[in-house]
């Protein structure tokens, strides 16, 4: 007998419908899986056989052939187990097959018949909703993730016995559609920041306009603390952004268990040893990298020059386009990567260039070589470059109450609400409409562009920062002061 159970496979961060076809026929006992399965799919035979025995069901002594259609698409992972098991039972007439076409079936089987959680359920739920709202049969631990869509009938099972009971017409308890839940709220480190008014002002501008920012200063001046403060200043994700970000984390297996959608911007801080595949995505099976995991959030690169030069150069195109295109022999995969880049670095290799009390041990050639690890084209894609100096009276103020930046959040949210997209992403006609320069501001920008030989990209980025400065003040025109402040954060200005 032939049974068909709807399932899905992952291609990048998208789900593709797959039909699990199981044929149980007379013949010498064997179990074949065809349709480009990987090792994990081929090993499902042993998991399915053991799970059936522990559930007091019979694994048929017959020729069992499993076809994963379409056959030319590579199938990876363990989430086909439950669909294969139900197909074997339907093909051997142990359960009826009338309900098996009603919903997509996902789940990994343990040897004792339990149904374990799998990654990518939210991507499958999005695919199911886009194709008419077909329901889902998922593991209990994935129930909230699947139900977060709010449009699908989701049945969650703890073990194979409950799945068999559903196939026989006895519905288990339906899951309640989970409300989106926040990822862990970032602690507010702003209350711990003393001084550094210039850096804090730059952080406010970066939060209001979605601009990339680079902190440069000796060790211990608060660069990392400033960077980690940024997510607490950003507005929460709207529903579309939450779905996009949560889908990526679901595919990567990093979505918190038994949770719905992420509603806070993600924050990712990869180590300096990260490879290009770890940052951009790759591997087999293909997984999203840190850049995609920070989609609609913050990517923090601490000790920027210590990253591999090739890894840093690979960031240039995604920072502009907001997506990564991974080209493989089997085709191209697109991964979303709309991130706000925050980076930190020391002024030299030893870290004490310009320190008021500690001497730098680096020769001029070593300083130039250290800074040269970060290329000019990459720096040009960072809107704000901020020096974070050692403050003479900082130690004296360590135990005093900190100057809170909590009052800046309403201004940041108001500036964000001025336009449909953050100022950092304004282009073409939208940028020309937003960048309404006063005459003095226009002359100042033209003079600076000629004096520092600013490229067209640098001029546009300066205009975007100036737009954000104007938005923070509630002005609909860009003044000369706004342009001057934007220019003060340019790489050419800071290093001239």
| Confidence (pLDDT) at 403 | 47
Going from N- to C-terminal start, the domains of the chain cover 2-167, 189-410, 418-496
| Confidence (pLDDT) at 399 | 46
Q: Among positive and negative, which fits the CA dihedral 426, 427, 430, 433?
A: positive
From the number of C-beta atoms within 10 Å of its C-beta (0-12, 13-18, 19+), residue 364 rates as exposed
Contact 40, 76 (CB under 8 A): yes
CA dist., res. 236 & res. 417, Å (int):
12
Contact 62, 166 (CB under 8 A): no
Contact 26, 92 (CB under 8 A): no
Question: Which residues does the chain have with pLDDT short of 50?
Answer: 176-189, 396, 398-399, 401-406, 494-496
Cβ neighbours, 10 Å, residue 45: 19
The answer regarding whether domain 189-410 maps to CATH 3.30.230.10 reads: no
**What is the CB-side half-sphere exposure of residue 115 using CA atoms within 13 A?**
29
- Strands 287-288 and 281-282, how do they pair? antiparallel
User: Both tokens of residue 235?
Assistant: 């507005």
| Confidence (pLDDT) at 492 | 56
Q: Which residues contact 458 (CB under 8 A, 6 or more apart)?
A: 380, 449, 490, 492
Q: Which residues contact 327 (CB under 8 A, 6 or more apart)?
A: none
Contact 12, 286 (CB under 8 A): yes
Closest CA to 296 of 224, 227, 246: 246
CA dist., res. 417 & res. 83, Å (int):
46
Pick the CATH number of 2-167 from 3.60.15.10, 3.30.230.10, 3.20.20.70, 3.40.640.10: 3.30.230.10
- For residue 19, the surrounding DSSP H or E stretch is strand 14-25
| Confidence (pLDDT) at 102 | 83
CA dist., res. 154 & res. 282, Å (int):
31
CA dist., res. 431 & res. 415, Å (int):
15
Q: At what angle do helices 223-233 and 408-416 cross, to 10 degrees?
A: 60
User: Both tokens of residue 366?
Assistant: 């070593």
| Confidence (pLDDT) at 178 | 47
CA dist., res. 376 & res. 457, Å (int):
12
- For residue 69, the surrounding DSSP H or E stretch is strand 63-69
User: Both tokens of residue 80?
Assistant: 């086909």
The whole-angstrom distance between residue 145's C-alpha and the CA centroid of its chain comes to 16
Report cis status (omega within 30 of 0) of the bond before 258.
Answer: no
Class of CATH domain 418-496:
mainly alpha
């Amino acid at each position: 007998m032939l049974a068909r159970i709807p399932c899905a496979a992952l291609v990048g961060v998208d789900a593709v419908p797959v039909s699990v076809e199981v044929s149980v026929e007379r013949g010498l006992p064997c179990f074949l899986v065809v349709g480009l399965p990987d090792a994990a799919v081929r090993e499902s035979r042993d998991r399915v056989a053991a799970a059936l025995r522990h559930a007091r069901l019979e694994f048929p002594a017959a020729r069992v052939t499993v076809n994963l259609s379409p056959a030319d698409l590579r199938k990876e992972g363990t989430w086909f187990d439950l669909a294969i098991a139900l197909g074997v039972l339907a093909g051997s007439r142990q359960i009826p097959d009338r309900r098996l076409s009603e919903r997509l079936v996902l789940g990994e089987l343990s040897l004792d018949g339990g149904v374990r959680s799998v990654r990518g359920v939210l991507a499958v739920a999005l695919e199911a909703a886009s194709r008419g709202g077909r329901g889902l049969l998922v593991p209990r631990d994935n129930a909230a993730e699947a139900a977060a869509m709010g449009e699908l009938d989701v049945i969650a099972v703890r073990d194979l016995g409950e799945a068999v009971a559903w196939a026989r017409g006895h519905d288990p308890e339906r899951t309640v559609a989970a409300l989106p839940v926040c990822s862990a709220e970032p602690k507010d480190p702003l209350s711990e920041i003393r001084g550094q008014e210039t850096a804090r002002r730059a952080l406010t501008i970066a939060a209001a306009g979605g601009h990339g920012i680079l902190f440069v200063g000796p060790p211990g001046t608060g660069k990392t603390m400033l960077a980690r403060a940024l997510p607490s200043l950003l507005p929460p994700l709207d529903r579309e952004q939450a779905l996009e970000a949560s889908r990526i984390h679901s595919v990567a297996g990093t979505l918190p268990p038994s949770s719905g959608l992420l509603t806070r911007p993600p924050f990712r801080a990869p180590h300096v040893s990260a490879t290009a595949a770890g940052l951009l995505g790759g591997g087999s099976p293909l997984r999203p990298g840190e850049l995609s995991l920070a989609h609609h959030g913050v990517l923090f690169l601490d000790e920027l020059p210590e990253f591999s030069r090739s890894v840093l150069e690979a960031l240039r195109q995604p920072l502009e386009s907001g997506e990564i295109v991974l080209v493989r022999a089997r085709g191209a995969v697109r991964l979303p990567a709309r991130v706000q880049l925050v980076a930190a670095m020391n002024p030299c290799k030893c870290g004490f260039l310009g320190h008021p009390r500690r001497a730098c041990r680096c020769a001029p050639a070593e300083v130039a070589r250290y800074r040269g690890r970060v290329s000019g084209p990459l720096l040009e894609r960072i809107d704000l470059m901020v020096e974070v100096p050692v403050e003479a009276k900082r130690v004296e103020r360590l135990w005093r109450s900190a100057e809170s930046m909590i009052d800046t959040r309403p201004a940041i949210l108001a500036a964000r609400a001025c336009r449909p997209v953050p100022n950092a992403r304004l282009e073409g006609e939208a940028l020309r409409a937003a960048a309404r320069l006063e005459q003095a501001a226009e002359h100042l920008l033209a003079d600076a562009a000629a004096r520092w030989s600013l490229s067209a990209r640098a001029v546009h980025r300066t205009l975007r920062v100036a737009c954000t400065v104007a938005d923070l003040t509630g002005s609909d025109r860009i003044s000369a002061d706004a342009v001057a402040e934007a220019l003060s954060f340019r790489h050419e200005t800071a290093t001239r």
